[in-house]
Amino acid sequence: MRNKLAVMLALVLALNLGVAVQPAFAAEIETEATSAILMDAATGKILYEKDPHKELPPASVTKLMTLLVAADAIESGRVKLTDKVTASEKACSLGGSQIYLEPGETFSLEEMLIAIAVGSANDACVAAAEHISGTHEAYVEEMNKKAQELGLQHTHFVNSYGLPADGHYTSAYDLAVMGREALKYPLIRKLTSMKEYDLRGGQFKLWNTNKLLWWYQGADGFKTGWTNEAKYCLASTVERDGLRLIAVVMGVPQPRGHFAESMKIYNYGFAKYTFKEFAPAKSKQGTVLVRKGNGAVINAVTEKPLGVTVEKGKDKKFWVETKLNPEITAPVQQGQKVGEILLYLDDQVQASVNLVAETAVPRAGLYQQLTQTLKSVLGF
């Protein structure tokens, strides 16, 4: 009783003195980053932030968008990884991080992208940009168009490599959104998770500038950056036990500080949050009758895992609702949507996953359909 009275008196005194009182359970992260964010990759929910919308120079973290535009071009069929890319004089004239391209030197587009993702090569950025869009300037326009498509409000690019330029900026939040988009492309994670690569037949060794790949369990992307103006920056992603997080730190003053600050933020995230799975991928959630399919019944399975990121110990109020078509008409394709499964917290939907046909069912022939109809009518 005395302890409770002492606490109450201390609170009253603090309030009277104008002292800000923080709840005992409030989580605090002190970071030396000018701007930082921790985001749940699955939902985009912000788990921690510090001035996340502050417009800052990103240095070579710019190359995350460079890789995004390149991945788009490859996926759409405009270019191929096997394309031969020839370095222009403009590409070879850049300073900063580079693979020291010579005018006329040729690499595959894949090797140019590896040089960008692993070695942070500025010259490879221009060579790849000119190959994909015709000119470097046109490529930068595509980068800004992609930023608009993603709804980024605090981003504008002047070049594809990140050297200081007036009007070249982004924010920690916008970079996290770019990271979420990048996770849709297996190619980008493949490239940015490479620890090393032998270029020019082993004569030129590339080492990934992202030391989290060595130092932090589950790290598998994305990109570092440094200039005098931007200081040390890092946009990264880590996955552990089904929980994937994205962290961005910008404007960290000390060398290697972007790694230390990112690890501190990830430690907070993985200590406080967990991924709770309610239905595994491909798990059976019911059956569906297929009309005109010769009496076939198919299993409805989850298209992907149904789960949500929650604070540890706070997963008791979730419940699941299954919405399933009782019957559908043949033909049915494998993977065809036949319903959905929804995850609720109280009465609010937190996540949903399609239920799909586990197997295909062809349309029955006319004789089979007549036979099936007679059986249902006559009861045999």
Which active-site residues does the annotation give?
60, 63, 120
State the helix-helix crossing angle for 136-149 and 122-133, rounded to 10 degrees: 90
Task: Map 38-103 to HEC letters.
Answer: EEECCCCCEEEEECCCCCECCHHHHHHHHHHHHHHHHHCCCCCCCCEEECCCCHHHCCCCCCCCCC
b/e code 281-302 from CB counts within 10 Å (16+ = b): eebebbebebbbbeebebbbbb
How far is residue 337's CA from residue 309's CA, in Å, rounded to a whole number? 25
CA gap 59, 271 in Å, rounded = 30
Q: How far is residue 249's CA from residue 257's CA, in Å, rounded to a whole number? A: 9
One-letter identity of residue 244: R
User: What SS3 state is found at 8?
Assistant: helix
Give how far Cα 237 sits from Cα of 18, 126, 179, 230, 334, Å.
Answer: 41, 26, 8, 21, 33
Do 245 and 46 meet the contact criterion of CB atoms below 8 Å apart?
no
- Select from 237, 172, 197, 199 the least CA-distant residue to 31: 172
- 273-279 and 318-324 beta bridge pairing: unpaired
d(CA 227, CA 211): 17
Geometric angle at alpha carbon 322, from 316 and 327, rounded to 5°: 170
Residue 199, SS3 per DSSP: strand
Give me the residues paired with residue 226 across strands. 232
Nearest alpha carbon to residue 278 among 237, 311, 236, 322:
322
Q: How far is it, in rounded angstroms, from Cα 105 to Cα 122?
A: 15
